[in-house]
Amino acid sequence: MTRTAIDRGVLAASAVFLLSVPWLIPAVADRFWVNVIAEILIWSLFASSVNLLFGYVGLLSFGQALFFGFGMYGVAIGVEKLGLGFWPALGLGVAAPVAMAFIAGIFAVRLTWHYFAIITVVFSLIFYFLALTLKPLTGGDDGISFAIPPTFRLGGAEWGFANESFQYFFILFAVAACLYAMRRLLASPLGKAFMAIRDNDVRASLIGLNVYWLRLVAFVIAGFLAGLSGALFAFFGRYASATYMFYHVSGEAVVWTIVGGAGTLFGPLVGTSLFILIREVVSTHWQHHSLIVGAMAILIVIYAPRGVVGVWRDLLERFGAPKL
Amino acid sequence: MTNTLIALAINGLVWGLIIALIALGLSVIFGLLDIINLAHGDFFMVGTVVAWTVLTITGSFWPAFLLAPVIGFVLGAIIQRIVLQPIRNAAALSIVATFGLSMILQEAVRMTFGPTPRRILPPIRGTFDLFGVEYEVYRLFAAGVSILALAAFFLFLHRTKLGTWMRAVRHDPEIATAMGIPAQRVYRVTFGLGFALAALGGVVASPITTVDFRAGVDVLPFCFMAVIIGGLGNLPGTAAAAVLLAFLEGIISSFATPTVARIASLVLMSAVLLLRPQGLFKGLAK
């Protein structure tokens, strides 16, 4: 088998597994794992926004939680305060973070490297503290809970997140569509321009690329990915809270991305799955699972700095069959 | 009103001096090792826990002033050797590594010390009259200790061989190595010193704040603000910015909530980053 054939096989097997989860899991394990997998999908979409910026444009954002939070609040405020239905609320939960990413990006992408990492943290902290202060709008620490509106209504029948399988497939298709769009984007001239900036921004500007504008575009797309994941998470949890805007949330996504393999499409998915599965498996037996998570993050950056997907590629290269 | 304003301003000043101590450690680590240390707040937290442990075991607070920096230094040197040396020159990886470190430190403390926050009574009791407000004597003592430690650190940096080495390695690691300076050892000492400074800050602050395994999470952003506003790697600027920031937050807190004060200093920090990324105190850099 060639390397691409092995990769395709793994991909196809994962796709079949993910599509069969709502039937497969209840047959072999507790139904609770369906929701764990749905949560993994949402968080890997969030990590993908870090990956797009860091892995493909070379900007390390430590403030993606800002857009995740805007997505959550867009949905929660839309449903609870404005009385919107599912789709308008989802629209608000995507539009708000995209607009915020555009405004924040105008300032943030003027800076690079350490300064960029820090200004993104600062922006997210400003809105975290604002969300804590503006209690009437955001519910502060307690957050906003809401009842889930139906997604589709046809005659008397309704489909919505109240149905666990529907919820799972909605999340799966949203995340898969985003990853597919990201793949197309990265193969396009725009994606190549992103990578040129990552590899050398001076040269990129010398061949006529508008580095500032391209970085801003990437920042807004990343804001969209983070915002959509926040909106999905709000529907998934029927809840929005300021705690999800804290810098720890952003930091976890950076760790998941780098551990999974930054600059690879599926790295964030692998990293996120790894960490959430460990958390779910270990936390039932041992409450100090953070020790394992922390140690793993350290071991991986020391011994496999290119992440799990990087190790996988090296293995294929060494033991796998000839390249195509 | 004026009295509360003065008290809050002085509170800010005291707190700013303690933060200056911690932020100095962060700045040294950043300037020399090019590491954004996300575990720095937890180094501070380790200091507060050492203070609490020493007080519980010996019944006296004072040994902590010696013990915490020593423990911090040794732990820091070990961490540098095991975790950070293998990933040198990869700043993004160091962020992940220190994030992992932060999780381990917090969880280890939660496991041993427990999840409930505790308070330490000031070792110097009593209050005095400060413009009509009862003010704790210990806070002034804390400010004094912080000033002494800051002065000692700058003396060390400019008057000793090791301090000169540290400045040389920061300036140009390759030429420093070529001149026979053991750069690896200097890195280790620097990281140890950064940890020691934060731990000392923890001891000084422990009777003022609570001893809690999450204490570092709130301190970290504040230290970063001081480092940025003072200018990355600019040590005197960092100290000045820490005092200025805490003083401003103290004053703003007198007519608004502390959260609003925090937002104000974050906005100030964004402005500094965008308009003057070299920091407010460029003149102090050497």
Q: What are the two backbone dihedrals, phi and then psi, of residue A288, each rounded to the nearest 5 degrees? A: -100, 45
Flag whether pLDDT at B224 surpasses 70.
Answer: yes
Give this prediction's pTM.
0.86
Q: What is the distance between the alpha carbons of residues B226 and B235, in angstroms, rounded to a whole number?
A: 10
- CATH code of the domain covering residue B259: 1.10.3470
Tell me what pLDDT residue B1 has: 62
Of the candidates B184, B188, B190, which has an alpha carbon nearest to the alpha carbon of residue B153? B190
The answer to whether residues B169 and B181 touch, using CB atoms and an 8 Å cutoff, is yes
Tell me which residue of B215, B222, B218, B221 sits closest to B248, measured CA to CA. B222
**What DSSP string runs through B67-96?**
HHHHHHHHHHHHHIIIIIGGGTT-HHHHHH
Query: What is the pLDDT at residue B70?
Result: 95
Residue A159's beta-bridge partner residues?
Answer: A152
Contacts of B227 (CB under 8 A, 6+ apart): B23, B26, B27, B30, B238, B241
Closest CB from B103, B225, B277 relative to A290:
B103
Token pair of A231, please? 């909106």
Give domain status of residue A99, yes or no.
yes
Instruction: Return residues 175-204 of B near A (CB < 8 Å).
Output: none
* Confidence (pLDDT) at B284: 61
Q: How many domains does chain B have?
A: 1
For B199, the domain range is 2-284
pLDDT at residue number B247: 83
Polymer length of chain A? 324
Q: For residues B277 and A108, give the distance between their C-alpha atoms in angstroms, rounded to a whole number.
A: 12
Q: Say if residues B37 and B98 touch (Cβ distance below 8 Å).
A: yes
Give the gap in angstroms from C-alpha B39 to the nearest C-alpha of chain A.
Answer: 11
The answer to whether A283 and A273 are in contact (CB under 8 A) is: no
Radius of gyration of chain A from Cα atoms?
Answer: 20
pLDDT of B285: 55
Residue B203 has pLDDT above 70, yes or no: yes
Q: Give how far A294 is from chain B: nearest CA, Å.
A: 4
CB atoms within 10 A of CB B164: 14
Q: Which of residues 263-282 of B touch A (CB under 8 A)?
A: 263, 266-267, 269-270, 273-274, 277
- Cα distance from B40 to chain A (closest Cα, Å)? 14
Q: What is the DSSP letter of A55?
A: I
CA distance B265 to B253: 11
- Which residue from B96, B106, B263 is facing A255, i.e. has the nearest CB? B96
Q: Phi-psi region for residue A154, left (φ > 0), alpha (ψ -120 to 50) or beta?
A: beta
Separation between Cα atoms, residue A174 and residue A157, nearest integer Å: 23
Instruction: Give Cβ neighbours of residue B53 (< 8 Å, ≥ 6 apart).
Output: B113
Report strand pairing: A152-154 vs A144-145.
Answer: unpaired
CA B142 to centroid of chain Cα atoms = 14
Classify residue A284 by burial, with Cβ atoms within 10 Å: 0-12, 13-18, 19+: exposed
- Nearest partner of A62 among A188, A249, A237, A269, judged by Cα: A249
d(CA B36, CA B33): 9
Report how far apart, in Å, the C-alpha atoms of A198 and of each of A47, A55, A115 are: 18, 8, 16
Residues, chain B: 286
Q: Mark yes or no for CB contact B96/A125 under 8 Å.
A: no
B244 to each of B238, B251, B270, how far by Cα in Å? Answer: 10, 11, 16
Asked whether the predicted pLDDT for residue B216 surpasses 90, the reply is no
3-class DSSP state for residue A203?
helix
Closest CA in chain B for residue A291: B104
**Would you tell me which residues 291-310 of chain A have a C-beta closer than 8 angstroms to some C-beta of chain B?**
291, 293-298, 300-302, 305
Residue B256 contacts A, CB cutoff 8 Å: no
Which of B29, B30, B87, B99 has the highest number of chain A CBs within 10 A, making it the mutation to test binding with A? B99
Number of Cα atoms under 13 Å in the Cβ half of residue A57: 29
Residue of B36, B96, B229 to mutate for A, most A C-beta atoms under 10 A: B96
Does residue A151 lie in a domain region? yes
Q: Is the separation of the CB atoms in B266 and B278 below 8 Å? A: no
Residues facing B244 on adjacent strands? none
According to the model, what pLDDT value does residue A1 have? 58
- Quote the strand ranges of chain B, DSSP E: 127-130, 133-136
Q: Is A267 contained in some domain?
A: no
Q: Looking up tokens 């304003």, which residue turns up?
A: B5
Handedness of CA A50, A143, A37, A33 (dihedral sign): positive
Question: Which of B7-16, B67-76, B248-257 is the most confident on average?
Answer: B67-76
Q: Inform me whether the C-beta atom of residue A53 falls under 8 Å from chain B C-beta atoms.
A: no
Percent of chain B with pLDDT over 90: 25
Give residue A307's identity as a one-letter amino acid code: G
**Segment B178-204 mean pLDDT:** 90
Element counts in chain B: helices (H) and strands (E) = 11, 2
* DSSP element (H, E) containing B31: helix B2-33
Residue A299, Cβ density class (10 Å: 0-12 exposed, 13-18 middle, ≥19 buried) = middle
B134 vs B168: CA distance, rounded Å: 47
Q: Do A301 and B87 touch (CB under 8 A)?
A: yes
pLDDT of the residue at A229: 96
DSSP per residue, B194-234: HHHHHHHHHHHHTTTS-B-TTHHHHHHHHHHHHHHHH-TT-
Percentage of residues in chain B having pLDDT higher than 70: 97
Number of domains in chain A: 1
How far apart CA A59 and CA A117 sit, in angstroms, is 8
The H-assigned helical ranges of A200-306 are 201-206, 211-237, 247-260, 267-283, 289-303
The candidate with the shortest Cα–Cα distance to A207, out of A222, A194, A196, is A196
Beta bridge partners of B34: none
Q: Is residue A94, in this structure, part of any structural domain at all?
A: yes
Query: Closest to A118 (Cβ–Cβ): which among B92, B217, B224?
Result: B224
Q: What pLDDT digit, counting tens, does each position of B124-162 carry?
A: 887 777 777 777 888 888 999 999 999 999 899 888 988
Q: Looking up tokens 């919505």, which residue turns up?
A: A160
The series of mean pLDDT values per 10 residues for chain A, 324 residues long, is 77 85 79 88 95 92 92 92 88 94 91 82 90 83 82 78 86 94 94 91 89 94 96 91 87 89 90 88 80 87 86 80 54
Domain ranges, residue A139: 30-245
Which of A35-49, B99-113, B183-197, B266-280 shows the lowest per-residue confidence on average (mean pLDDT)? B266-280
List CB contacts (< 8 A) between B223 and chain A. none
SS3 state at A262: coil
Residue A191, in any domain of the structure: yes
Supply φ then ψ for residue B118, to 5 degrees: -125, 160
Amino acid sitting at position B240: A
